[in-house]
Amino acid sequence: MSTTFQLDTATSRANPTPAPMKRLTVPKVMQRKNDGTTEEPLVMLTAYTARMAQLLDAHCDILLVGDSLGQVIYGLPSTLPVTLDMMVAHGAAVVRGSYHSLVVIDMPFGSYEASPQQAFASASRIMAETGAAAVKLEGGVAMAETVRFLSQRGIPVMGHVGLTPQAVNALGGYMARGRSEVEEARIVEDGKAVADAGAFAVVVEGVVEDIAITLTRELAVPTIGIGGSAQCDGQVLVAEDMLGMFERTPRFVKRYNDLARIISDTAGEFAAEVRSRSFPGDAQVYKAK
């Protein structure tokens, strides 16, 4: 069944709220795996602002407020400096801008690793202050206890295994994971651990394709691939990568447009008209009656 909708009314800065749609739920996402309907894969994109959420919502099953906003929005060198305040502010904006997609918010580095109790304090704040449906955290076996702790207390958790950007310093970079038999076994174990602990879905990032296929086959919950395999139960990309806002992107990104060039060219056209005094023209100025 297609999950693409058309908004009934246009949006603007003065009228930012689109027509309501029935929002997808965590049980519905899990059901897509259990009843075999993931023959139509789940679609997930990142969103960090209300306007982007409005534009993506009708086409997605899940909107991820990723900690990648640190790099995309704030120009930070990695996701590590992202704060809980940032995630809450952007998460609330995305919830306001969406009506169909399940909204999942990343838990930033340092907000959940110390203990399950710390994770609950951070996650409960995210849920209460944004209205999101779930949180996402990175890690496998080491985070299984935390996933179980949150899940048992009513906080749905999306897992994330393989290439985990918050662990970039420990991993030594952003290269693909699972090229050795030992590492492959560890990633599969990680995926199973968080799924068994109660994660409702698992992001599988930057791994050798066979690992993503194995996890998709063996996990009872949906896998969301990013640099994984087309056989995953769903796919996710950073929206700005997909739209061509950056010239350099990871290998697993397909650039569906070239918005960086379009924006630059448009700004150049505006600048030329301003400098030649051809803008504003008669159509953009007010005349006395």
| CA separation for the pair 168, 263 (Å, rounded) | 31
Torsion of the alpha carbons at 88, 25, 160 and 121, rounded to the nearest 10? 40
| DSSP category for residue 207 | B
In a domain, 179, yes or no: yes
Q: Measured between alpha carbons, how far is 133 from 126 in angstroms, rounded to an integer? A: 10
Sign of CA dihedral 261, 46, 36, 193: positive
Chain segment 7-47, per-residue pLDDT in tens:
445 555 555 555 555 899 999 999 988 766 546 999 999 99
Give residue 212's pLDDT band: very low, low, confident or very high (50, 70, 90).
Answer: very high
Between the alpha carbon of residue 41 and those of residues 60, 96, 234, the distances in Å are 11, 25, 4
Q: Which of 40, 181, 189, 205 is catalytic?
A: 205
8 A C-beta contact, residue 46 and residue 66 = yes
Look at residue 5 and tell me whether its pLDDT is greater than 50: no
Number of domains in the chain: 1
Q: Is 163 helix (H, G, I), strand (E, B) or coil?
A: coil
Output the average pLDDT for the chain: 92
- Token readout for 140 is 């496998």
CATH number at residue 131: 3.20.20.60
Q: Please check whether residue 109 lies inside any domain of the structure.
A: yes
Does residue 248 fall inside a structural domain? Answer: no
Q: Is residue 5 part of a domain?
A: no
Residue 126 lies in a domain: yes
Q: What confidence score (pLDDT) does residue 19 get? A: 52
**Beta strand 42-46 pairing with 134-136:** unpaired
Residues of the binding site = 67-68, 106, 136, 138
2 pLDDT more than 60: no
Q: Would residue 63 count as lying in a domain?
A: yes
- Does residue 45 lie within any of the structural domains? yes
Task: Tell me whether residue 256 is in a domain.
Answer: no
Using an 8 Å Cβ cutoff, are 232 and 224 in contact?
yes
Q: How high is the pLDDT of residue 10? A: 58
The domain containing residue 63 runs over which residues?
26-243
The answer to whether 247 is a known catalytic residue is no
User: How distant, in Å, are the alpha carbons of 44, 212, 235, 236 from that of 230?
Assistant: 14, 9, 8, 11
User: How much is the pTM?
Assistant: 0.90
Q: What is the pLDDT of residues 243-273, one digit of tens each?
A: 999 988 888 999 999 999 999 999 999 999 9
> What pLDDT is stored for residue 8 in this prediction?
47
Q: For residue 79, which of 254, 222, 238 has the smallest C-alpha distance? A: 238
Tokens of 163: 């290439």
Residue-wise pLDDT for 130-186, tens only, equals: 999 999 999 999 999 999 999 999 999 999 999 999 988 877 777 788 899 999 999
